[in-house]
Homo-oligomer: A and B are copies of this chain.
Amino acid sequence: MARSELRRPAPAPELGLDVYRRLREGIIAGRFQPNERLVEANLSRMLGAGRTAVRAALVRLDQEGLVTREHNRGARVRLVSDQEALQIEEVRAALERLLARQAAAKATASDIRELRHVLVDMRKRLSSGDAIGYSELNPKFHQLIWATARNPTAGRLVGTLKSQSLRFQYQTMLRPGRPQRSLREHELIFSAIVAHDPEAADAAMRDHLEEVIETLRWAIGHKSRPPQWLPD
């Protein structure tokens, strides 16, 4: 039984999980630079938790592919090379095709309603010239498809993959005419799901992600500067 509340406001509703989430958030948001050392003691102070929690979070993030850990050498933010980013996108494409197929097979009226809602939002933002707003809705659309497919295994995997390559996404919408084509591709996927046509959904998703990969290749080729080295 809990005695009187000690002076801590919220000592432990899953503190460890919170540390994990915040660290993950920080890495994805880019608050830690790639290849930056993640010193346990620092993070411990920074996050206000003991080293054990930090360590557990690092283990999870390592398994998730967001950090690399070497024995007796600590953890660093994992730097994903351009080549790796392409590989990751290819894998993601394979999984998303499966998910699109299953989503088409299993979509309920409610699922379709939600998808349509996101899609009209996308249309709206795009026609008002809000390209970044559009690209913010993009993940939402895909996540709804994952949920519709009701395949937790594939869903989890594709989610972690997405988080690994997230640093690259913002560049892809800079390509001239890309947002419009992207919207059209999404509409095709949506149509296939509405029609409960797994084959068409698979094909539409394949075309879409091939375009995405192609665009990513273009973005990599055109990016301003090769990776810039800052000394430690």
A88 at the interface (CB under 8 A from B): yes
- Nearest B residue to A91 via CB reads B154
Check B153 against A91 for contact (C-beta < 8 Å). Answer: yes
Q: How far is the CA of A59 from the CA of B17 in the complex (A)?
A: 11
Q: How far is the CA of A152 from the CA of B164 in the complex (A)?
A: 14
Q: How far is the CA of A98 from the CA of B59 in the complex (A)?
A: 28
Interface bin, chain A: 20 to 34
Q: How far is the CA of A170 from the CA of B175 in the complex (A)?
A: 50
Check A151 against B91 for contact (C-beta < 8 Å). Answer: yes
A71 at the interface (CB under 8 A from B): yes
Between-chain CB contacts (< 8 Å), 23 pairs: A17-B71, A52-B52, A55-B56, A56-B56, A59-B59, A59-B60, A59-B63, A60-B63, A63-B63, A63-B64, A87-B152, A90-B98, A90-B154, A91-B95, A91-B151, A91-B153, A91-B154, A94-B95, A94-B97, A94-B98, A94-B154, A153-B161, A157-B157
Additional A-B contact list (19), CB under 8 Å, known A87-B153, A153-B161? A14-B71, A17-B71, A55-B56, A59-B59, A59-B63, A63-B63, A65-B153, A84-B153, A87-B151, A87-B152, A90-B98, A90-B151, A90-B154, A91-B95, A91-B98, A91-B151, A91-B154, A94-B95, A157-B157
Residues of chain B within 8 A (CB-CB) of A98 are: 90-91, 94
Interface of A is mostly: helix
Chain A contacts with B in 70-128, Cβ cutoff 8 A: 71, 84, 87-88, 90-91, 94-95, 97-98
Residues of chain B within 8 A (CB-CB) of A65 are: 153
Q: How far is the CB of A102 from chain B (nearest CB, A)?
A: 8
- Nearest B residue to A64 via CB reads B63
- Nearest B residue to A61 via CB reads B63
Q: A56-B55, A64-B63 are in contact. Are A157 and B17 (CB under 8 A)?
A: no
Residues of chain B within 8 A (CB-CB) of A151 are: 87, 90-91
Of B59, B157, B161, the contact of A91 (CB 8 Å cutoff): B157
Residues of chain B within 8 A (CB-CB) of A152 are: 87
- Nearest B residue to A88 via CB reads B153
Q: How far is the CA of A164 from the CA of B95 in the complex (A)?
A: 18
